[in-house]
Amino acid sequence: MHATTIMAKHSSKQPSSTGFRVTVYAVALLLAAVMAVEAINIAFYDPWGEEYFLFRLQGVLDGVSMVSLTWVMFGSLFVLLMAGLPLAFVAGGLGVIFLYLVGDAAMLNIVPSRIFPMMTNPDLAAIPLFIFMATMLERAGLIEEMFDAVYQWMGALRGGLAVATIVASTILAAMVGVVGAAIVTMGIIALPAMLKRNYDEQIALGSIMAGGALGVLIPPSILAILYAVVAQQSVGELYSGSVVPGLLLSGMYIAYVLGRALLNPAVGPAVPEEERIDLRAKLVLLRGLIAPILLVVVVLGLLFTGVATPVEAAGLGSFGAMIVALLHRRLTLEALLQASISTVKATVMVLWIIFGASIFVGLYILKGGQTFITETILGTGLSPYGVLFLMMFLLVVLGMFLDWVGILLLAVPIFVPIIKQLTFDGLFGLPGPTPDQVVLWFGVLYLVNMQMSFLSPPFGYALFYIRGVAPPSISMATIFRSSLVFLSIQVLALALVVVFPALATWLPGLIYGR
């Protein structure tokens, strides 16, 4: 079963209880009645200057304090999301409703004014191209081949299969940049292999989830493209800035697994002698990985050096993925059709969330929300690093309940202007980021933080992706526990990038001279 199929199954799940349906119908009828009354007011009462029919909601929230408006807007958003409604339609729908409640019909002009610049932003065209590249490489069977090759090279080590999973996930992150596909596919391939050899369940599950989440950070991350668009940051600089932290995290995961296996060999037994192959056979296995790895090197190399724009690099990657599939004799009309359909579904989901959240946040900023949040945070008297810690904490909390695109569109437009006003002098006598590096540094911190949202109970996406492919004998509680240690490692990595900003700024400085 393909990863995209399993992801679609999970994304399509909706509450099905009778009570929930009755509630939805009742709310829909109530909204229809309200809209009918408002339509009568607009059509028959406004032209004659008369007051209203029954009631009038237009502008009812005009003049309320920003504190009250903040609680009403974000409180209603939270309640509807907890009810299981999709973020794309909730954010956009609430945005339009509040536009009417706080102003007049003319304020609805903010809808096209917020959406049109997004539609004409060329960097967003890279998203479907990179998603198509990921889907084609998956359907070419490269993930299975890659894990098999790394598994044979690492299997002789204690904990070698878990290490192979993390290494394969790191390479996979550089190929696809899509977290769900990586976690589900590695769960299908690697989890049975580890459980068969009596690996500790928490090590097996945690290595798959943490390794798969590297797709958020390591280029060509889809999230990095969206952050760069929202924060008006260079995609190439953000990609190059996330390379070192991504490899650092991967190395920390591997060190943890090897350390656990060294202290307690029972948690990760080595592959038996009879299942190992000689060096010549291992080298043969690597032959099938030459083309996809070369594709990644070329795509990222063109992007980092500035030879190609993100869209051009993504287009080359999509074409190269088809060539790689052809070389592996997996390029069929059916594969192209399925890859295209998966790309359209994933892209439409992302764009609807972008448009909806952009309207919601745009209204909040227009009513003075940006100034209110800035004054509130800066008015706490916290140091710049205290403000940064508060932001990171809020992102972690949001990550427990919202998906990564929603967090990006809701938080980044508010946080980045605040960060630009702060000066970071460094911690423990170490140098901090220069003023022109702050936004880049914060962007990398944001990407590291978003990895945590995938593993954060109770609603981290990775937890439910792995649930879909794990055996019934593994409980949800076990999956939750398996994420905690790797979450701690992510927190440590986040702290390291805060203390040592050069981890995020050194490579962009080397490439772009920043």
Query: For the CA atoms of 270, 489, 181, 269, what is the dihedral angle to 10 degrees?
Result: 10
Neighbours of 489 (CB within 10 A): 17
Q: Tokens for 304? A: 């980092």
* Res. 2: pLDDT tops 60: no
pLDDT score for 49 = 58
* Res. 9: pLDDT tops 60: no
What's the CA gap between 367 and 38, in Å, rounded? 23
Which range of 156-160, 242-246, 280-284 scores highest in mean pLDDT? It is 242-246
Residue 426, φ and ψ in degrees, nearest 5: 105, 160
pLDDT in tens, 208-242: 888 888 888 888 787 888 888 888 888 888 888 88
* Res. 498: pLDDT tops 90: yes
* Res. 475: pLDDT tops 70: yes
Mean pLDDT of all residues in 40-47: 67
pLDDT score for 58 = 67
What's the CA gap between 461 and 6, in Å, rounded? 13
> Would you say 365 and 413 are in contact if contact means Cβ atoms under 8 Å apart?
yes
Instruction: Look over the chain and give the mean of its residue pLDDT values, rounded to a whole number.
Output: 79
What band does 117 get if pLDDT is binned at 50, 70 and 90?
A: confident
DSSP-derived secondary structure for 426-493: -STT-----GGGHHHHHHHHHHHHHHHHHH-TTT-HHHHHHHHHS-TTS-HHHHHHHHHHHHHHHHHH
pLDDT in tens, 353-390: 777 777 887 788 777 777 787 788 877 778 889 999 98
* Res. 445: pLDDT tops 90: yes
| Residue 221 per-residue DSSP state | -
pLDDT in tens, 379-421: 777 888 999 998 888 888 887 777 677 788 778 888 888 888 8
Reduce the secondary structure of 80-123 to three states and give it as a string.
Answer: HHHCCCCHHHHHHHHHHHHHHHHCCHHHHHHHHHHHHHHHCCHH
What's the CA gap between 32 and 391, in Å, rounded? 39
The contacts of residue 157 (CB under 8 Å, 6+ apart) are 163, 258, 261, 270
Neighbours of 302 (CB within 10 A): 18
Please count the residues of the chain: 514
> Would you say 448 and 217 are in contact if contact means Cβ atoms under 8 Å apart?
yes
